[in-house]
């Protein structure tokens, strides 16, 4: 299952905000998204509870770094939020399941130092060495083309950590999270700047580990779309009378000619049900 994880040693640098926005973006793209949370604070549960039913559906999954770090079945595309301070075995477990790891950093030197330690651990992991798990950093609450962004970009280059883009600090993110939404669920007119800032990040995810399958290739059950329920033609005949709107949700089971069984051979021909 394609998996992207948000990782940082520091709390408050935007992991959960990014996780909700990535999940909502890909849910809008038609991918069946599971939003996993390894943090005992369970911010994802809070966000999902607030999510309006009209917004594209996202499934929640909750675990912790001591157990399984991803759902064992039933998920297709996973966005994984992780707790601050992740290192050692917990970090290694995430690198085993993730195809992409994103490390958000702000303009603070504390963020950069914590991210350097995290990258030093990750870059030695066999899946990162082999390229099966790609790692990149991005600026969070960092304005583009400022000195702070230059410093962060140079820092990433100096330690060989790919740098994707910077997302500005904006109340739009705070408001979106409050309402169980993402910037991609809000009108394009009020989020135009932010959508443009997201482009390199989304392209990286699209081209890399998080490619979205053609919606038609995803089975209906995985898309959360109810498939048509097979019912016998007799039931189908009375259904429209019960609720005309329901008929489209059912599919007639093709009628099979009655089988000639050893027993039916003893039934006189004129009493046998007609076949064909």
Ligand X SMILES: Nc1ncnc2c1ncn2[C@@H]1O[C@H](COP(=O)(O)OP(=O)(O)O)[C@@H](O)[C@H]1O
* Single residue of 38, 69, 102, 177 touching ligand X by CB under 6 A: 177
Output the DSSP codes for 18-76.
HHHHHHHHHHHTT--EEEEE--TT-HHHHHHHHS-TTSPP-EEEE--TTS-SS-SSS-S
CA distance 122 to 131: 12
14 binds, among ligand X, Mg ion, none (CB under 5 to 8 A by kind): ligand X
Binding mask 54-93 for ligand X (x = CB under 6 A): ------------------------------x---------
CA distance 275 to 259: 9
Cβ burial of 170 (10 Å; 0-12, 13-18, 19+) is middle
> Which residues face 101 on adjacent strands?
5, 135
**125 binding ligand X? (CB under 6 A):** no
Closest distance between ligand X and the C-beta of residue 246, in Å? 43
* Single residue of 4, 7, 13, 100 touching ligand X by CB under 6 A: 13
191 binds, among ligand X, Mg ion, none (CB under 5 to 8 A by kind): none
- Contact region for Mg ion (CB under 5 A) — 15-23, 71-79, 182-190, 234-242? 15-23
14-43: which residues touch ligand X (CB under 6 A)? 14-17
**16 binding Mg ion? (CB under 5 A):** yes
**140 binding ligand X? (CB under 6 A):** yes
CA distance 113 to 8: 11
The DSSP code for 107 is S
140-179: which residues touch Mg ion (CB under 5 A)? none
């Amino acid at each position: 299952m394609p998996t992207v994880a948000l990782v940082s040693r520091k709390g408050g640098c935007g992991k959960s905000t990014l996780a909700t926005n990535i999940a909502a973006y890909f849910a809008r793209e038609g991918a069946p998204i599971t939003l996993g949370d390894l943090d005992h604070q369970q911010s994802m549960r809070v966000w999902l509870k607030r999510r309006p039913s009209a917004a594209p559906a996202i499934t929640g999954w909750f675990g912790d770094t001591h157990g399984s770090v991803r759902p064992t079945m039933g998920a297709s595309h996973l966005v994984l939020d992780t707790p601050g301070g992740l290192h050692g075995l917990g970090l290694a477990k995430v690198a085993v399941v993730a195809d992409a790891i994103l490390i958000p950093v702000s303009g603070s030197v504390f963020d950069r130092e914590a991210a350097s330690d995290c990258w030093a651990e990750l870059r030695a992991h066999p899946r990162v060495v082999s390229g099966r798990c790609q790692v990149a950093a991005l600026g969070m609450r960092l304005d583009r083309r400022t000195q702070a962004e230059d410093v962060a970009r140079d820092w990433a280059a100096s330690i060989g950590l790919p740098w994707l883009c910077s997302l500005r600090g904006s109340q739009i993110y705070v408001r979106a999270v409050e309402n169980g939404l993402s910037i991609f669920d809000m009108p394009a007119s009020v989020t135009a700047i932010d959508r443009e800032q997201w482009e390199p990040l989304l392209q990286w995810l699209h081209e890399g580990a998080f490619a979205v399958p053609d919606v038609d290739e995803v089975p209906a059950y995985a898309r959360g779309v109810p498939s048509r329920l097979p019912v016998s033609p007799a039931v189908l005949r009375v259904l429209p009378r019960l609720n005309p709107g329901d008929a489209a949700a059912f599919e007639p089971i093709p009628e099979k000619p009655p089988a000639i069984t050893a027993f039916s051979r003893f039934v006189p021909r004129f009493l046998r049900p007609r076949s064909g």
